[in-house]
């Protein structure tokens, strides 16, 4: 399979430049998979992807683990079509799986302010799982205002607007195979 890997892209009239390459993403996911294999051996975890953004990361992450595991999805929205969080989480799809007594791994593409993940962790804990862990491909640590649990991180990134590999700008750009950052004039 070949991928479209341009150095820069136009998305909804804005210029984005490559920020994390496909090679870097693949290498990091391989390491994360190995770590999850070890930490969840004999635990039969259930990955819960938070749609839409997490779908590509989750697909690659799950294929990098070798232990028996399951998957389900939850859909949230906090950004709408904007570059900044609305400050409110809207639940658009509930999980179907029964998570009581299970080891749950919540999967995000990005933790930014932390609002969505805080909401998800609190929600999961109400279902009495055996454990709740959080993995995110990207973490904007400096932008995180909410007290949120993050157990596994692909990349800590500065406060930039990023696109691709599942992340969108007004719903476009999710299909890009690497991560791009909004180009800011100096």
**What tokens appear for 142 in the block?**
């400096």
Q: Please classify residue 88 by burial: count the beta carbons closer than 10 Å to its beta carbon, then call 0-12 exposed, 13-18 middle and 19+ buried.
A: exposed
- Judged by CB under 6 A, does residue 135 bind ligand PRP? no
Q: Of residues 78, 123, 149, 177, which one binds ligand PRP by CB under 6 A?
A: 78
> 36 or 54: whose CB is closer to ligand PRP?
54
Select the span of 1-9, 25-33, 49-57, 65-73 touching ligand PRP (CB under 6 A): 49-57
If one asks whether residue 114 binds ligand PRP (CB under 6 A), the answer comes out as: yes
Count of residues of this chain found to bind ligand PRP when the rule CB under 6 A is applied:
19
**Which residues are tagged catalytic?**
112
Question: Which of residues 115, 121, 162, 179 is near ligand PRP by CB under 6 A?
Answer: 115
Residues contacting 126, CB < 8 A, separation 6+ = none
Give 9 or 115: the residue with its C-beta nearer to ligand PRP. 115
**Distance between CA 155 and CA 31 in Å, rounded?**
12
For residues 44 and 67, give the distance between their C-alpha atoms in angstroms, rounded to a whole number. 7
Q: In terms of CB distance, is 37 or 72 closer to ligand PRP?
A: 72
DSSP state of 114: S
Per DSSP, what are the bridge partners of residue 156? 139
- Contact in structure between 162 and 179 (CB atoms under 8 Å): yes
Determine, following the binding rule CB under 6 A, whether residue 149 of this chain makes contact with ligand PRP.
Answer: no
64 interacts with ligand PRP by CB under 6 A:
no
Please count the CA atoms within 13 angstroms of the CA of 12 that sit on its side-chain side. Answer: 12
| Binding stretches for ligand PRP (CB under 6 A) | 50, 52-53, 76-79, 85, 108-117, 168
């Amino acid at each position: 399979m070949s991928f479209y890997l341009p150095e820069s892209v136009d998305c909804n009239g804005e210029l984005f430049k490559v920020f994390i390459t496909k090679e870097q993403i693949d290498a990091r996911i391989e390491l994360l998979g190995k770590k999850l294999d070890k930490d969840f051996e004999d635990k039969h975890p259930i990955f819960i992807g938070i749609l839409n953004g997490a779908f590509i990361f989750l697909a690659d992450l799950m294929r990098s683990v070798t232990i028996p595991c399951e998957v389900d999805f939850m859909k949230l929205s906090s950004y709408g079509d904007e570059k900044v969080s609305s400050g409110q989480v809207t639940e658009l799809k509930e999980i179907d799986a029964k998570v009581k007594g299970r080891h749950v791994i919540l999967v995000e593409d990005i933790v930014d302010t932390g609002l969505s993940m805080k909401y998800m962790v609190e929600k999961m804990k109400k279902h009495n799982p055996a454990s709740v862990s959080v993995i995110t491909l990207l973490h904007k640590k400096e932008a995180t205002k909410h007290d949120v649990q993050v157990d596994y991180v692909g990349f800590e990134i500065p406060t930039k607007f990023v696109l691709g590999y599942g992340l969108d700008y007004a719903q476009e750009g999710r299909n890009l195979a690497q991560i791009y950052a909004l180009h800011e004039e100096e």
